[in-house]
Amino acid sequence: MNTRFRGVDVREALLFEGPQGWAEFSPFVEYEDAEAATWLQAAIDFAWNEQPAPLRERIPVNATVPAVDAARVAEVLARFDGCRTAKVKVAERGQSLADDITRVHAVREIMGPEGRIRIDANGAWNVDEAEHAIHALAELDLEYAEQPCATVAELAELRYRVKHKGIPIAADESVRKAADPLAVAQAKAADLIVIKAQPLGGIRRALAIVAETGLPAVVSSALDTAVGLSQGAALAASLPELDYDCGLGTASLFADDVADARPVNGSVSAARVTPDAGALDRLEAPADRQAWWLARLERCHHHLRFE
């Protein structure tokens, strides 16, 4: 990766080809098999089954700004061609709210008043911290705050407290990592949801969750390779409504990838990606990591068979 992001310097993924094309199995290495099996279910579905018909050919995407020093913001944004929305990581461990404010200020200065800025805390704040941070950042005209707190109850309380500020609350982990992904809507804890194809078990299941919540959705990625990003793009292409730029431009965070999925003029193609043969050879994992992933694949597949 060009920049360390959420503790990750090198992204590992297992790619395979099925009758419908290539798919990606890439749960983060620390995830237990039970959770990782849902990612495998999504990959198998994408490789073997016909997907819902696309409603659009290109997907508008946001730039993603890791928790970098403000002096590096321009360097990061320059990698996202034509993007007029930026998601800024905040609440990084070891950093302060002052660091967040300075970073978001730098993004606003570069993007100008017409640029859209959303922040993502990955559930790291408690309710009081989140309320204080949103008040401090409100003058920068935030599009929304993503997963500012960890639990559905905290999100609901925060949403009530900051409603007068007019800053929507988005739920990510409270949807994709929850036993009940509909709970956040039932509790009126969010104004919109962030969905990801792999963690939710595939495109059809993600579409069903959006339909059942009745909330606007933003399609995002989990630092996928170009293959995984194409599954996310297929999900975004099949949503009945797409009101927000999607978090599918993260190929620009990589120094190398199996294909070029970087945004062009602020959008990415919804077409399926076939990895470049030379890139597959160049990025092939060492033998010990291949063995680790194949063993994980077998365990997760066994888990699916006996669910």
CATH of the domain at 269: 3.20.20.120
In a domain, 24, yes or no: no
Mean pLDDT of 80-94: 97
**Is 165 a residue whose pLDDT tops 80?**
yes
* pLDDT value, residue 6: 74
Is 146 among the annotated ligand-binding positions?
A: yes
Closest to 250 in 3D by CA, of 46, 63, 112 = 63
**What pLDDT is attached to residue 306?**
61
Phi and psi torsions of 257, nearest 5°: -155, 170
Q: Is 45 annotated as a binding residue?
A: no
Band of pLDDT at residue 204, cut at 50, 70 and 90: very high
Residue 284 lies in a domain: no
Residue 26 lies in a domain: no
Residue 253 lies in a domain: yes
36 inside domain: no
pLDDT digits (tens, 9 = 90+) for 218-239: 999 989 999 999 999 999 999 9
Query: Is 168 within the bounds of a domain?
Result: yes
Domain span at residue 77 reads 53-276
When pLDDT is cut at 50, 70 and 90, the band that residue 7 belongs to is confident
| Sequence-distant (≥ 6) Cβ neighbours of residue 199 within 8 angstroms | 27, 35, 38, 39, 42, 176, 177, 222
User: What is the pLDDT, as a whole number, of residue 70?
Assistant: 97
Q: Which residues are catalytic?
A: 89, 196
Q: What is the mean pLDDT of residues 188-206?
A: 96
What would the mean pLDDT of 38-52 be, rounded to a whole number? Answer: 97
Q: Is the pLDDT of residue 111 over 90?
A: yes
- pLDDT grade for 307, boundaries at 50, 70 and 90: low
What pLDDT, on the 0 to 100 scale, is given for residue 177?
85
**295 occurs within a structural domain:** no
Q: Is 243 marked as a binding-site residue?
A: no
Number of domains the chain is built from: 1
What percentage of residues in the chain have a pLDDT greater than 70? 99
Residue 30 lies inside a defined structural domain of this protein: no
